[in-house]
Structure 1
Amino acid sequence: MILIAGAGGRLGTLVVSDLAAGGHPLRVIVRDASRYRPPAGAKVDVVVGDVTDAAAVDRAMTGASVVISAVHGLIGRGSHSIHETDVVGNQNLIVAAQRAQVGRFVLLSVHGASATSPMELTRAKFAAERALAGSGLAFTVIRPTAYLETWLDVVAAGRAGTARPRILGNGTNPINFVSVRDVAALVVGEALATTAGNRVYEIGGPANLALGELARELVAAGVCAGRSRRIPRRALRAASIVARPFKPAAARLASAAYLMDTIPMATGEGDARARVPGVPLTTFEHALRALDTLHSSQV
């Protein structure tokens, strides 16, 4: 049985769908069962619980042979901090997986995971990586660059048609974006892998694009209309502090957007496709043509 944490997100939804299509027994741990919608036709055992609750994680882990952790505390409706979700939550999953003696733990990290990164999420993911590396579990760590579909949603403000695109910051810093579909394919492959050994994969997209370029392409594709609305860097910095007590998710996004607009974010495709046959390379143009991905509420 495969346990998936973070199943309600954009990546998790694709992973559940692909694994369910293959007939694999699945369990997900979600905070609110009423808000979780399994993919159509998917048979999924739903356990209500939070990854920050060690007892709930232990219950969900019973009988698991593989664990996929796709949790993240950056974008979403949750009130947990990045540390609570990505450090404490992953530590709970790792400890429970040790007790259950699972065969493989697949951890979704981020490109550039480092203890000294200026970005909180990147530091938190690195801490989760270190905990997993010291656990004795067989593991796969996947380090994707920024998810293209998520940031298309951010720039499109989650709406289509007449909405003006929204650019957070100057919008001129080149960023490597990878399609979430490419990452999902790699996750599924590793969850079903029979080869032994611990593996760390870097996976990026084919091009480095600034947020301003995303906005122009969204207008050209008819997803948005009109001139871009810009949220200045100083406003992002202020929002990352002022909004924290009232809208923590908005504060986290503002902080991440400020850093993504100011620090080097350009890179290459990574090594995953060269090492794992069959992992797709979705182009920006193809992602734009699949416009239905822009309107998902799962980010």
Structure 2
Amino acid sequence: MIVITAPTGNIGRHLLPLLLESAPGRGEVLRVIVRDPARLPDAVRESVEVVTGSHGDADAVDRAFEGADAVFWLVPPDASRSPRDAFSGFTGPAAKALVRHGVGHVVGVSALGRGTPVADRAGLVTASLALDDLIAGTGVAYRALANPSFFENLLEEAGSLREKGVFTDTVAADRRAPLVAVADIAAVAAGLLTERSWTGSDSVPVLGPRDLSPEDLARVMTEQLGRPVRYERQPLDELHTTLVGHGLHEAFVQGLVDMKRAKDEGLDAGVLRTSATASPTTFEEWCARTLRPAVLAG
């Protein structure tokens, strides 16, 4: 049995169909933890076991992990808590349930940066790496999907791209770094969850096909959207003031700012792209399939 957390999220909604496609032939039972089962497509609800609740809740994970062989673990974003509480605090009940029920394998969504000079001052990434240590410390076989930033983050800029032809971030315009599509992360997760011969604890980088800078992104979006797109670099102190002004937890905001600063200092640049760490979806393909419809929809 495989348990999937956050099944309606960006990665989960790609992961579930992949597992559902292969599960019948392997006699694999799928179980999901979800706050609102109505958000699952009807066909999915009919094909999986559903545990209703938050996977940060001790009772929900206790029910969900009973009889489980593997778990897909993703911590949902929570800007109302400190980074430590949002990652390790949220996962504490699940870590105990993994041990209690003897779960053998866990695949988690994490970040690049372990072993780099800035890993211990990278805010949200530092908290994510501590979460990996928490899960690995339970004794399960653990694979942390070490991801860079997602293409999908640009969907938050759809309105600005539509109205002004502008997107923003805090890194230097020429800073090249890996970027990845969430569908590719889901594909790697599906492979690990279905083929569970691996042991021990390790990270699995998912790097996309090539490094891109904001200038590169602007060029590709200009081509794909058929309109001029430019990049504006936002100062970190301005980002901090804006997010705190929106009511986000100040420690969480500082964690986000620290992560952004670390990325500009090369946090994501330490892993070699190989046939094993590259993933297939290009930014051009993603723009045509996902970003362009989102921008034009308005």
Structure 1 length normalisation: TM-score? 0.79
Give the equivalent residue in structure 1 for 2:4. 4
Give the structure 1 partner of residue 190 of structure 2.
Answer: 188
Question: Do 1:2 and 1:26's aligned partners in 2 also have CA atoms closer than 8 Å?
Answer: yes
SS at match of 2:145: strand
Tell me by how many angstroms 1:87 deviates.
0.9
Q: Which runs of 5+ in 1 are unaligned?
A: none
C-alpha displacement at 1:191, in angstroms?
0.5
Offset, 1:192: 0.9
Q: 1:160 to 1:46 in 2, by over 3 A?
A: farther
Aligned to 1:108, the other structure's residue is in SS state strand
Partner of 1:122: 125
Tell me how large the CA RMSD over aligned residues is.
3.4
Cα gap change, 1:133/1:250 in structure 2, threshold over 3 Å: closer, same or farther? Answer: closer
Query: Which stretch shows the higher mean deviation, 163-172 or 8-17?
Result: 163-172
Which runs of 5 or more structure 2 residues have no equivalent in the other structure?
none
CA contact (8 A) 1:68 1:105 kept: yes
Matched, 1:238 2:227: no
Alignment partner of 2:54 out of 50, 54, 57: 50
- Whichever structure has more helix as a proportion of its residues is 2
Residue 293 of structure 1 and its aligned partner are, at CA, apart by: 8.7
1:20-39 to 2 correspondence within 5 Å?
A: 20-23=20-23, 24-34=28-38, 36-38=39-41
* Equivalent runs, 1:131-280 vs 2, <5 Å: 131-147=134-150, 149-154=151-156, 156-157=157-158, 161-162=162-163, 164-169=165-170, 170-200=172-202, 201-222=204-225, 227-228=230-231, 230-245=233-248, 256-268=259-271, 270=273, 273-274=275-276, 280=279
Equivalent-residue separation in structure 2 for 1:83 and 1:92 (angstroms): 14
Find the aligned partners of 1:129 and 1:196 in 2 and give their Cα distance: 17
Q: Report what 1:86 is aligned to.
A: 87
Report the CA distance between 1:28 and its aligned residue.
1.8
Is 1:17 equivalent to 2:17 in the alignment?
A: yes
Counterparts of residues 54-65 of structure 1 (less than 5 Å):
54-65=58-69
Partner letter of residue 84 of structure 1? D
Tell me what 1:105 maps to. 106
Paired residue secondary structure (1:197): coil
Identical aligned residues as a percent: 26
- Could you list the per-position Cα deviations for residues 223-278 of structure 1 after superposition, in whole angstroms to 9, with x for gaps in the alignment? 7655545533331132344444479988865664454345543345546x438xxx
Amino acid aligned to 1:22? S
Residue 107 (structure 1) shift: 1.7
Equivalent of 1:66 in 70, 95, 103: 70
Give the secondary-structure state (helix, strand or coil) at the position aligned to 1:274. Answer: coil
2-structure distance, mates of 1:192, 1:202:
18
Task: Note closer, same or farther for the CA distance 1:33–1:257 as it changes in structure 2 (3 Å cut).
Answer: farther
User: Per chain length, whose mean CA-contact separation is higher, i.e. which structure has more relative contact order (CA < 8 Å, sep 6+)?
Assistant: 2
Alpha-carbon distance between aligned partners in 1 of 2:222 and 2:259, rounded to the nearest angstrom: 24
TM-score by length of 2: 0.79
C-alpha spacing 1:94/1:288, structure 2 compared with 1 (3 Å): same
User: In 1, are the aligned partners of 2:61 and 2:94 still within 8 Å (CA)?
Assistant: yes
Q: Is the 8 A contact 1:160 1:224 kept in 2?
A: no
Partner letter of residue 70 of structure 1?
L
| Cα distance in 1 for residues equivalent to 2:222 and 2:279 | 26
* Pairs aligned (count): 286
